[in-house]
Structure 1
């Protein structure tokens, strides 16, 4: 691995270690309340289930959770007070979270959470028997910690519609104190659904998305809103408001593996080269990587540039020997092939434009599709059909037909193939220039006098891995598809069979 890659990995490891140490030092405290077994108003089926689901989800992402269910007014007030004390003691880096599922109502713009023992005959008594939602915000804000999250899955219905001055539906929108994220299961003044299953649509969606690595709290609740709208037929729209000053994530993004880091560095190098050959070789080596789509887009642009005729400013224009710029019909056909992603679509393009601007891209995609289809059938294990495009076949020589030497060594002459190949070792050849185009029809300016090792990132270890693939498919090893011809490819196969000495 390059020194830059090693340095990057070391820096990444140190950063992750510092992050983990800091994450361990930052307390995550949650108070989860679920009230459903009301004695004097309409009971609710799901709030206790919702609270238990949320408590379990929060524990899995590192929260220390206090779960309170079917609580009286005294029990709710006591739990909220203790939660505030613990949050104040945890320090400014702590994260506090309060979740409530159950009945909630508003009166004169003030929201109240209802304990299960509530009894109410007059709206004026609501503040005496309910629990003001502002009391929760006040306790959390008093801690002066950096991040607080309040989630209210309330407003299932209004149990006091018959009481004058309590006919408003849903909750009123509250102002979020600095450093607070406020989330409601539905829009202000609307009613949330309790849910036909074991959980409310809001809490079920929240528990599903909350463990997603690298998702900010704002993005999380946007995804929840999309799911709830879909699940309720647009009857319920979750709402949120924020005064956060940090980018909070319930689960930090996963650190990239060493392989992912190395692949990213390879792709960055290939992309900066603006060399269509290197992009083609990258796609051949990593056809299903996360960078394959970007690589195909870049290859299209580079191949189009290769197709443009070069006109000298010092001489009058000459008849173009290179293919003309692609016409609209050719662009449309290659875009159709890329969109469909089928072998037949790419073959149609190649039949129509055998020397077109995107011919090499089409051949690469077609060969990739055929290779996938072939590898999916382990019984036949046959090479691609004869009509499929293959690399240019070079005429055989007498040397190609000679028997191989007893031992193929990395640093010893091959002693097989034509004289130029036979007199050189593998280690010498991979630092030289190819004899034939790596891909049929590739312009000489792209591959001629290039270094094979630079294109393939060759070294003894990964070249041995590549050579081992020829051992299982001897029928293709002798075909002259390699830039050094079939004899060299056959030599690599024999070298791999002998353990790559």
Structure 2
């Protein structure tokens, strides 16, 4: 099958694939609203103060902000302020809409009474168990606020099962917290199992919060897997005496730090690359690199191209007679293979320019130009002085190529060698190629495009090496009239002609 037929089939297949991909383009999801209320109570005035809840709350607030939560942080709060904070949190959650995610985190003293859990503000005073609902804040109040928002996902995290501060109060002898029923769409997490006591910790954070905060930003970790990891860490840190607990009624998948979803365009390029890679077809690789030179797969495509090219470079089995002198067995095709193989191994602009100067229409000319373009672009991007060089002033009335960024001039320019200057469209081609091409700008200011667009320069000029050299010599002096005239290939080409003429038009 000819290269022309292969290119045609590939182009048709690529077009149809793109049309199909466009039809399957998924809609862009709207950004998710994440709201969190984080509470830490340490400085209790009438019961045993705690060392770590404020530290725990601050660490959790920081970790949640890094995963996209809008965090309200409340520290060492009294009953009125805690109730007000929960109420405002519910209002914000209701206003955020059904797709919002709400999270409530509490670190501090918490107790249960008759199966009901209470969060204790720092100003709590309790003499009788019957007064607990009057001086504490029922955890169920948080769930009611969340449920009223009718939003999709809610998370409640309670690191509140430290020692019972009311052991002397009758009817408050139960340890830990009671397990609560999770309304639909809610994930409930406790620092320890129901009825058990959690460790406050001696490292500045509780073992539970330390483990949770350290894993919260792990990319792509489902919430169920996250808390299973936290459970194992806490068991290890506490010698198996504390077992974090959770219960869930979530109806959707949730990740604190979801993996970045590729765009439709990225998916399209990836699927195309998978197809091209399996083909092992240098032509398809070449077309892929031409269409997506800066994609994430360009490097791999080039490596595969090098492998396939190396196989192509291997000489066919020698069927000549042993008596035939070796010099007679070498064909022009073998010389071309050796030259492109040398350029491939060297990987330099000079090596590819040498190949193109010798074989401007060779079998590997397209590949050589592609590699040379890549080298030129990379040199321009990594040149530390590129952004600081002032642009060369254009000749009056002359248009310049908008992408011309290579202001460094080569030492010499040859008629059949790539220019090595200007933008990649000029730098990778020789004078002999360009004079057979089409103008890039109007030869005369104001000339209608219909007169010059897509026409060959040879139709307007007798451009051959000898008479072109005569014209190029007129550019050597900046005072010459020709130097002030615009050129259909732009100022960079005129600079190349001047350098060529200065060296005697080699």
TM-score of the superposed pair, with normalisation by structure 2: 0.54
Alignment root-mean-square deviation, CA:
4.5
Q: Deviations over 1:429-472 (max 9, x none)?
A: x9xxxxxxxxxxxxxxxxxxxxxxxxxxx796369869x9xxxx
Aligned counterpart in structure 1 of residue 370 of structure 2, from 439, 461, 467? 461
1:92–1:146 Cα contact (<8 Å) kept: yes
Partner of 1:244: 250
Shift of 1:114: 0.9
Larger radius of gyration: 2
In the alignment, is residue 221 of structure 1 matched against residue 130 of structure 2? no
Q: Deviations over 1:106-134 (max 9, x none)?
A: 12211111111112233232222211111
Distance 1:256 1:233, change over 3 A: farther
1:325-344 aligned within 5 A: none
Number of matched residues? Answer: 326
Partner of 1:425: 363
1:464–1:496 Cα contact (<8 Å) kept: no
1:82-93 aligned within 5 A: 82-93=88-99
Shift of 1:78: 1.7
Partner of 1:408: 355
Distance 1:157 1:262, change over 3 A: same
1:60-99 aligned within 5 A: 60-99=66-105
Partner of 1:211: 217
2:35–2:69 Cα contact (<8 Å) kept: yes
Take 1:11 and 1:200, find their aligned partners in 2: how far apart are those partners? Answer: 52
Partner of 1:355: none
Distance 1:248 1:400, change over 3 A: same
Partner-residue secondary structure (3-state), 1:408: helix
Take 1:202 and 1:191, find their aligned partners in 2: how far apart are those partners? Answer: 12
Shift of 1:268: 5.3
Take 2:117 and 2:173, find their aligned partners in 1: how far apart are those partners? Answer: 13
1:147–1:179 Cα contact (<8 Å) kept: yes
Shift of 1:187: 1.6
1:5–1:262 Cα contact (<8 Å) kept: no
Partner of 1:267: 274
Partner of 1:28: 34
In the alignment, is residue 52 of structure 1 matched against residue 58 of structure 2? yes
In the alignment, is residue 42 of structure 1 matched against residue 45 of structure 2? no
Take 1:63 and 1:95, find their aligned partners in 2: how far apart are those partners? Answer: 9
1:110-125 aligned within 5 A: 110-125=116-131
Distance 1:4 1:225, change over 3 A: farther
Gaps of 5+ in 1: 282-289, 292-367, 369-390, 415-423, 431-457, 469-494
Partner-residue secondary structure (3-state), 1:127: helix
Take 1:53 and 1:153, find their aligned partners in 2: how far apart are those partners? Answer: 13
Distance 1:191 1:269, change over 3 A: farther
Partner of 1:180: 186
Take 1:186 and 1:268, find their aligned partners in 2: how far apart are those partners? Answer: 51
Take 2:172 and 2:248, find their aligned partners in 1: how far apart are those partners? Answer: 28
Partner of 1:360: none
1:410–1:500 Cα contact (<8 Å) kept: no
Distance 1:194 1:264, change over 3 A: farther
Shift of 1:6: 5.7
TM-score of the superposed pair, with normalisation by structure 1: 0.54
Distance 1:264 1:110, change over 3 A: same
